[in-house]
């Protein structure tokens, strides 16, 4: 694959988020100047500057057009935009649309006005729902079947990308599934703690499969999507080489914790499949009232298969995931320990 050179300016939204932080760490080391980072809160500024001291950090909200305009003000030369800002576990369901859909439309419009070279939009598996069978795998092109509020907002965002491409913008889409790795938020720490205590609820047989992506593999994919010239409007799954069975995930994380010196209890927390169904039902009911309950949502999704096929990213971008589950989880555990996070 022939890559272009890095642009004069790289704009990253959501720079203090999980993916945003991993991306800023990489760009901070690779691009000596022309880094512009959008963060949501003033308190995020220092964290981003620690990862990329050369970055110009702008505080603003993607759902507010004036904040976006400040982000793009005065940029010259080739400009690439990597749009990672989004909300996945909000307080109110309405935030999904405001941030994920309207926010994306705002970023695309500003990028077009600034004459951006390419916009990489970070989407999700959730516009496509769940696989109908444990052996089924989402192909590069699939019908939309959004999974509740988050899925709908990310589907609408992809629609905004398609519209912008129609109007002449060079924008592409990266679709990561469930990710893991350094810079993880607190909810992932809970995941490690549950597995260490043998308390991770495996719903049903545990044979359901999940595609996952190590966050540095995802950074590789995002940067290839930015730099490899392709037709505008393309979308790629970026994930680890293959989907993992839920049982394999739980076993591998347990092994990774043990390899990092933790005392891990065998996971015997089995939950009947009906619990997953009830949770999904409850999640839908709660979301209809405009509220959002993270624990119920995650539990409802846990008995589903969400598996993706990365072959179009491999052939079109030359994407090759370098890290797999065991090594990635060990790195993630070490990162938590280095941050002084108790597992």
Partner 1 sequence: MSDVTHTATPWPAANSSAEVVVVGSGAGGAPTAALLAEAGLDVLVIEEGPWVAQGEVVPFSLDQMHRQYRSRGVTVALGKPSIAYTEGRCAGGGSEINSGLYWRPPASLLSRWRDEYDLATLDPDEVERILDEIEVALSVQLVPGAPTAPSEVLRRGAAALGWRHDEVPRWMTYPDGDDASRGRRQSMTETYLPRATQAGARIVTGARVDRITMRAGHANGVDVTTDDDARRHIACRHVVVCAGAIHTPALLQRSGIRRNVGASLAIHPTVKLAARFPETMNVPDDVPVHQVKEFAPLLSFGGSASHPGLVALSLADAWDRFGSRIVDWERMSVYYAAITPQGRGRVRALPGFADPLVTYRLTRRDQALLGRGLARLSLVMLEAGADEVYPSFRGASVVSSRSDVAEQQRQFSATRATVMSVHLCSTVPLGGTRSAQRGTDEWGAVPGVGNVTVNDASLLPDAPGVNPQATVMALAIRNTRHHLATDRFARSDA
- Binding residues for partner 1 (CB under 8 A): 129, 131-133, 135-136, 139-146, 155, 159, 312
Given the complex with partner 1, which of 33 and 145 has the nearer CB atom?
145
DSSP 126: G
Given the complex with partner 1, which of 12 and 313 has the nearer CB atom?
313
Q: Which two tokens stand for residue 111?
A: 């990028």
Given the complex with partner 1, which of 143 and 340 has the nearer CB atom?
143
Q: What phi and psi values does residue 293 have, to the nearest 5 degrees?
A: -125, 105
Given the complex with partner 1, which of 61 and 303 has the nearer CB atom?
303
Give the Cα separation of 67 and 254 in Å (integer): 44
CB of 227 to partner 1, least distance (A): 23
CB of 197 to partner 1, least distance (A): 32
Nearest to 170 by CA among 162, 158, 182, 159: 162
Given the complex with partner 1, which of 193 and 312 has the nearer CB atom?
312
Nearest to 14 by CA among 163, 162, 210, 157: 157
CB of 153 to partner 1, least distance (A): 13
CB of 333 to partner 1, least distance (A): 35
In 9-135, which ranges are continuous DSSP H helix?
18-30, 45-51, 65-72, 94-95, 103-113
CB of 139 to partner 1, least distance (A): 7
Checking 68-75 for CB contacts under 8 A at 24+ apart, the result is 68/38, 68/106, 68/107, 68/110, 69/110, 71/11, 71/13, 71/36, 71/38, 71/110, 72/11, 72/110, 72/111, 72/113, 72/114, 75/9, 75/11, 75/36, 75/114
Given the complex with partner 1, which of 84 and 131 has the nearer CB atom?
131
SS (H, E, C) 186-199: HHHHHHHHHHHCCC
Given the complex with partner 1, which of 115 and 318 has the nearer CB atom?
318
Q: What phi and psi values does residue 260 have, to the nearest 5 degrees?
A: -95, 10
CB of 176 to partner 1, least distance (A): 20
Scan for tokens 């444990």, then name that residue. 134
CB of 159 to partner 1, least distance (A): 7
Given the complex with partner 1, which of 131 and 252 has the nearer CB atom?
131
CB of 100 to partner 1, least distance (A): 16
Given the complex with partner 1, which of 315 and 339 has the nearer CB atom?
315
CB of 133 to partner 1, least distance (A): 6
Q: How far is CA 82 from each of CA 24, 73, 92, 199, 203, rounded to the nearest angstrom?
A: 11, 16, 26, 37, 36
Nearest to 304 by CA among 89, 96, 145: 145
């Amino acid at each position: 694959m022939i890559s272009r050179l890095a642009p004069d300016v790289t704009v990253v939204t959501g720079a203090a988020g999980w993916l945003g932080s991993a991306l800023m760490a990489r760009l901070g080391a690779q691009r000596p100047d022309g880094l512009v980072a959008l963060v949501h809160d003033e308190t995020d500024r220092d964290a981003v500057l620690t990862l990329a001291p050369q970055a110009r950090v702008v505080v603003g909200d993607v759902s507010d057009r004036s904040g976006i305009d400040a982000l793009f003000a005065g940029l010259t030369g080739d400009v690439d935009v990597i749009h990672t800002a989004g909300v996945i576990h909000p307080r109110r369901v309405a935030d999904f649309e405001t941030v994920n859909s309207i926010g994306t439309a705002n970023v695309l419009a500003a990028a077009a006005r600034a004459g951006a070279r390419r916009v990489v939009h970070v989407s999700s598996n959730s516009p496509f729902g769940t696989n109908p069978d444990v052996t089924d795998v989402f192909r590069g092109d699939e019908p939309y079947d959004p999974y509740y509020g988050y899925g709908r907002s990310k589907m609408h965002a992809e629609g905004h990308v398609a519209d912008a491409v129609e109007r002449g913008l060079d924008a592409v889409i990266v679709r990561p599934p469930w990710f893991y790795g350094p810079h993880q938020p607190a909810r992932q720490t809970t995941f490690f703690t549950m597995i260490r205590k043998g308390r991770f609820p495996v719903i049903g047989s545990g044979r359901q499969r999940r595609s996952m992506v190590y966050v540095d593999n995802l950074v590789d994919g995002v940067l290839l999507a930015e730099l490899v010239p392709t037709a505008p409007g393309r979308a790629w799954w970026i994930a680890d080489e293959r989907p993992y069975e839920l049982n394999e995930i739980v076993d591998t994380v347990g092994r990774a914790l043990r390899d990092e010196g933790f005392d891990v209890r065998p996971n015997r927390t089995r939950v009947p499949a009906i619990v997953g169904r009830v949770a999904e039902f409850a999640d839908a009911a709660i979301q209809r009232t405009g509220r959002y309950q993270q624990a119920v949502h995650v539990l409802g999704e846990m008995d589903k298969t969400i598996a993706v096929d990365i072959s179009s990213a491999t052939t079109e971008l030359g994407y090759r995931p370098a890290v797999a589950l065991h090594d990635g989880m060990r790195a993630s555990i070490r990162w938590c320990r280095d941050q002084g996070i108790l597992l």
